[in-house]
């Protein structure tokens, strides 16, 4: 999918010159508040939120997706508590604060490391402690990490006369790194619990603390002693504390988007619409006044003068893929099933709660909230996240390599949209070849997940377990011209699967629809761990196209001379009569329609163009 408009180098240079001379520079990747201000980068004022935090409480916790401005928020708070008034000129907090009293700052950043072992975590904490001990001094005796932290806070308060500020960036990085390794997680949790326990023992010496992360992993166990830790992740007053709100897009960002539109030769209205579809849509609380834009993607798109999947390209959700596969999760349930408030705030230490984790890490967001039932309905926030998510996980669910997926997806698009169920089912089956299954993965759920991923990537309307008055359709795909009704069975028969579609009258809701209905029964073999037979029934040509296509039948046992003779005869029939049906071929050659279907699979240079009786055969010259 092409996400950008063609622009000349001259126009891009003109845009960059305008940004450099008439507007603040855009802070892509700038996370330090002081350097951002001193180097004349744009700052979207969030200091009203900081003022409220500082003056209404003491200990806070905030979860937001990566690249959403958490580090800049902590850096801004740090500069505020350092008393650097000159950096806040013209900002909300400058008008409110009168004292600008400096405080000792303990800023713990756990983001730089990959925590493959406990030693990496202890080394990172030791590094921070050493920096502080060089400032405030240390005891001669060897002490634990938590004891050293406690000593640093006490010495800092004694030496400065002011209480300490505790800021923690990416508190959950060690826990996320250890997903799939419960023993390592437990070791990490033990160390962090003792270390953060100092916040309670030194409460009287702490003026303010804010701990941030991507998820709420282990919040209960790590911070179990901090019962006064205020979680503002879904607080209505702080829904836009990170990210860019719609009102900020319409005001502060408007000149930049206007320039972007002019460079790309597009209207301001259409540019706004594309920005909304790609980067908007985050809703961290149901009571939020407006949705939030992804700041990293918005700023990067403006700097580069073209659209792209920038946020997704900066990091890949490996831990989420493992979580989905380990739990044999049905992907359609991510957005199909509602979740209650308690589950949405899940703080499951071992990461078994899929939807809460996806919500907290930015891959899902609140679509709407049913106040009466208290249930939340989830969806992907925007096209960048949805497309990036499914493109990334597809190779994990198939035998496709990353470099092959784009071509295969393109072919799949063509086959579904042009009404070629046999072709797309055969291609889909190839995705299962040589795929290494986990013990907990069932072939039926795997098939549904693969088809769901592909349909989401194609932008098609796909529903899993679609409810009708007589039952639930396993999979329903709707395109402009076709409605695919698919029923799946395990260790049964394709005939039984197709018969269920007929008996339950699954197609009845679309009886008056102009689109052609294609009913498909699929049987999975638990032994082969893949679909082995399917049955296709098209309303437009039921007699001709209702046939079982057993993929295990590779024509073994057919004499080679007879096979070659049949292939030559079929090719001759098609050349003489492009409108001939398979049934007519079978009658002329005195074989079954099933055999004709087998022979046609061998003739890759013969294809059927169109659908039903309105189509015709073509022979491609090789």
- Position 347 scores a pLDDT of 57
Residue intervals in the chain for CATH 3.40.50:
46-238
Comparing 35-49, 241-255, 501-515, the range with the smallest average pLDDT is: 501-515
3-state helix, strand, coil in the chain (%, to 5): 50, 15, 35
- Residue 464 has what pLDDT? 67
**pLDDT at position 437, please?**
57
User: In 532-544, which positions are buried (b, 16+ CB within 10 angstroms) versus exposed (e)?
Assistant: bbbbbbbeebeeb
- Say whether pLDDT at 547 is over 70: no
Closest CA to 432 of 445, 447, 421, 444: 447
pLDDT value of position 533:
87
User: What does the pLDDT read at residue 599?
Assistant: 73
Quick one: average pLDDT of 164-173?
94
Q: How many CA atoms lie within 13 A of 264 on its CB side?
A: 24
Cα torsion at 597, 599, 600, 605 (round to 10°)? 170
Q: Quick one: pLDDT band at residue 384, thresholds 50, 70, 90?
A: very high
Distance of CA 596 to the CA centre of its chain: 44
Contact status, residue 294 vs residue 384, Cβ threshold 8 Å: yes
- Predicted pLDDT of residue 18: 52
Ramachandran region, residue 58 (left: φ > 0; alpha: ψ -120 to 50; beta: rest)? alpha
Segment 139-143 mean pLDDT: 82
* Contact present, 137 and 185 (Cβ < 8 Å): no
The H or E element containing residue 339 is strand 339-340
Instruction: Provide CB contacts within 8 A for 9, sequence distance 6+.
Output: none
Return the pLDDT at 151: 96
Residue of 583 and 162 predicted with greater confidence: 162
Number of residues that make up the chain? 622
Mean residue pLDDT across the chain: 83
pLDDT in tens, 447-484: 778 777 877 776 667 776 677 766 788 888 888 889 99
527, 536 Cβ separation under 8 angstroms:
no
Bridge partners of 520, per DSSP, are 486, 536
Confidence of residue 443 (pLDDT cuts 50, 70, 90): low
CB neighbourhood size of 265 (10 A): 10
Average pLDDT on 297-323 reads 86
Instruction: Say yes or no to pLDDT of 164 above 90.
Output: yes
User: Which parts of 229-317 fold into alpha helices (H)?
Assistant: 246-250, 254-263, 268-279, 295-304, 310-313
Which of 118-122, 255-259, 527-531 is predicted least confidently? Answer: 527-531
Which CATH code for domain 560-619?
1.10.10.10
The ranges of the chain annotated as CATH 1.10.10.10 are 560-619
Most confident of 1-10, 176-185, 247-256, 559-568: 247-256
C-beta separation of 548 from 494 below 8 A: yes
Whether the Cβ atoms of residue 3 and residue 306 lie closer than 8 Å to each other: yes
Classify residue 509 by its DSSP letter.
G
Paired strand residues for 483: 478, 517
The domain 398-550 is placed in CATH, from the list 1.10.3470, 3.30.450, 3.40.1350, 3.40.190, at: 3.40.1350
Exposed / middle / buried, residue 290 (Cβ in 10 Å: 0-12, 13-18, 19+): middle
Q: Could you tell me which residues are beta bridge partners of residue 461?
A: 478
Which pLDDT value is given to residue 70? Answer: 97
pLDDT bin (cut points 50, 70, 90) of residue 607 is low
> What are 439's two structure tokens?
């013990």
Instruction: Compare 425 and 409 and report the one with higher pLDDT.
Output: 425
Average pLDDT over residues 232-243: 95
Q: Write the pLDDT tens digit of every residue in 70-126.
A: 999 999 999 999 999 999 999 999 999 999 999 999 999 999 888 999 999 999 999
Question: 388 to each of 183, 311, 312, 578, how far by Cα in Å?
Answer: 32, 9, 6, 43
Backbone dihedral region for residue 165 (phi beyond 0: left; psi -120 to 50: alpha; all else: beta)? beta
Stretch 285-311: mean pLDDT = 95
Separation in Å, CA 406 to CA 1, 78, 308, 312, 457 = 10, 45, 16, 17, 10
State percent of the chain over pLDDT 70: 81
pLDDT at 19: 52
At a CB cut-off of 8 Å and minimum separation 6, what does 501 contact?
Answer: 473, 485, 487, 507, 519, 521, 537
Question: In this predicted model, what pLDDT tens digit does every residue of 19-40 receive, in sequence order?
Answer: 555 689 999 989 999 999 999 9
- Can you give 112-164 as a three-state secondary structure string? CCCCCCHHHHHHHHHHHHHHHHHHHCCCCCCCCHHHHHHHHHHHHHHHHCCCE
Q: What pTM value is reported for the model? A: 0.76
Dig out the tokens for 546 from the structure: 């209702």
In this predicted structure, the answer to whether residue 161 has a pLDDT above a threshold of 90 is: yes
179-232 pLDDT tens trace: 778 899 889 988 998 999 899 899 999 999 999 998 875 444 676 666 678 999
The dihedrals phi and psi of 214, each to the nearest 5 degrees, come to -80, -40
* Banded model confidence at residue 246, pLDDT cuts 50, 70, 90: very high
The mean-pLDDT minimum among 2-6, 332-336, 465-469 falls in 2-6
Task: Indicate the pLDDT class of residue 238, thresholds 50, 70 and 90.
Answer: very high
pLDDT for residue 274: 96
Which residues lie across from 208 on neighbouring strands? 165
Over residues 343-351, the mean pLDDT reads 62
610: DSSP letter = S
- Of the pLDDT bands very low, low, confident and very high (cuts 50, 70, 90), residue 509 is confident
| 165 pLDDT tier (thresholds 50, 70, 90) | very high
pLDDT top residue among 182 and 276: 276
Say if strands 471-478 and 482-490 run parallel, antiparallel, or are unpaired.
antiparallel
Look at residue 554 in the predicted model and tell me its pLDDT. 42
pLDDT for 421 beyond 80: yes
For β-strands 616-619 and 606-609, DSSP reports them as antiparallel
- Name the residue with higher pLDDT: 458 or 154: 154
Q: Please compute the mean of the pLDDT values over residues 285-292 and round it to a whole number.
A: 93
Assess whether pLDDT exceeds 80 at residue 611: no
Distance CA(19)–CA(11), nearest Å, equals 12
What is the third-level CATH fold of 46-238? Rossmann fold (3.40.50)
What is the mean predicted confidence (pLDDT) over 401-430? 78
- Considering the chain, tell me which residue range(s) the CATH 3.40.1350 domain(s) occupy: 398-550
Q: Which two tokens stand for residue 132?
A: 């502080």
For 608, the token pair is 């059927």
* Residue 571: per-residue pLDDT: 82
């Amino acid at each position: 999918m092409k996400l950008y408009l063609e622009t000349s180098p001259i126009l891009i240079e003109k845009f960059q010159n305008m940004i450099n001379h008439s507007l603040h520079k855009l802070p892509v990747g700038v996370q330090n508040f002081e350097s951002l201000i001193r180097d004349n980068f744009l700052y979207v004022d969030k200091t009203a939120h900081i003022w409220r935090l500082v003056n209404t409480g003491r200990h806070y916790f905030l979860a937001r997706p990566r690249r959403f401005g958490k580090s800049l928020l902590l850096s801004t708070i740090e500069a505020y508590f350092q008393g650097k008034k000159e950096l806040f000129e013209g900002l909300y907090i400058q008008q409110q604060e009168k004292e600008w009293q400096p405080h000792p700052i303990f800023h713990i950043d756990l983001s730089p490391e990959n925590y493959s072992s406990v030693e990496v975590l202890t080394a990172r904490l030791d590094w921070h402690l050493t920096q502080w001990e060089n400032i405030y001094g240390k005891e001669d005796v060897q002490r634990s990490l938590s004891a050293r932290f406690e000593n640093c806070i006490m010495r800092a308060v004694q030496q400065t006369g002011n209480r300490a500020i505790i800021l923690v960036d990416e508190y959950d990085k060690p826990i996320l790194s250890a997903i799939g390794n419960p023993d390592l997680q437990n070791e990490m949790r033990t160390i962090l619990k003792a270390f953060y326990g100092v916040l309670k023992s030194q409460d009287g010496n702490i003026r303010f603390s804010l701990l941030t992360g991507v998820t709420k992993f282990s919040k209960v166990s790590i911070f179990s002693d901090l019962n006064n830790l205020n979680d503002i992740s879904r607080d209505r007053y702080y829904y836009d504390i990170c990210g860019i709100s719609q009102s900020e897009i319409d005001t502060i960002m408007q000149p930049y988007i206007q320039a972007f539109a002019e460079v790309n030769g597009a209207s301001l209205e259409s540019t706004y619409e594309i920005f909304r579809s790609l980067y908007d849509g985050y809703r961290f609380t149901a009571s939020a006044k407006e949705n939030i834009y992804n700041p990293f993607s918005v700023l990067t798109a403006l700097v580069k003068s073209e659209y792209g999947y920038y946020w997704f390209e900066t990091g890949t959700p490996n831990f989420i893929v493992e979580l989905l596969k380990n739990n044999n999760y049905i992907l359609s349930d991510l957005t199909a099933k509602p979740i209650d408030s308690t589950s949405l705030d899940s703080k499951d230490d071992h990461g078994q709660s899929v939807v809460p984790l996806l919500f907290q890490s930015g891959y899902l967001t609140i679509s709407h909230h049913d106040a009466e039932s208290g249930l939340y309905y989830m969806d992907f926030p925007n096209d960048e996240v949805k497309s990036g998510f499914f493109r990334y996980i597809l190779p994990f669910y198939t035998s496709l390599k990353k470099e092959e997926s784009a071509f295969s997806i393109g072919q799949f698009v063509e086959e579904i949209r042009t009404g070629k169920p046999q072709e797309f089912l055969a291609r889909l089956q190839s995705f299962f070849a040589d795929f290494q299954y986990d013990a907990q993965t069932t072939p039926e759920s795997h098939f549904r997940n693969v088809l769901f991923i592909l349909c989401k990537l194609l932008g098609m309307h796909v529903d899993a377990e679609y409810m009708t008055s007589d039952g639930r359709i396993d999979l329903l795909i709707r395109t402009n011209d076709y409605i695919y009704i698919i029923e799946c069975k395990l260790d049964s028969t394709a005939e039984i699967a197709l018969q269920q579609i007929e008996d339950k009258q699954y197609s009845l809701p679309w009886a008056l629809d102009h689109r052609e209905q294609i009913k498909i029964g699929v049987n999975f073999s638990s032994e082969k761990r893949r679909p082995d037979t399917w049955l296709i029934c098209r309303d437009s040509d039921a007699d001709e196209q209702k046939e079982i296509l057993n993929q295990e039948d590779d024509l073994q046992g057919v004499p080679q001379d007879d096979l070659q003779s049949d292939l030559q005869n079929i090719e001759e029939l098609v050349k003489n009569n492009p409108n001939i049906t398979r049934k007519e071929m079978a009658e002329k050659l005195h074989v079954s329609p099933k055999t004709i279907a087998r022979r046609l699979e061998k003739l890759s240079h013969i294809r059927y163009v169109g659908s039903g009786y309105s189509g015709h055969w073509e022979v491609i010259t090789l």
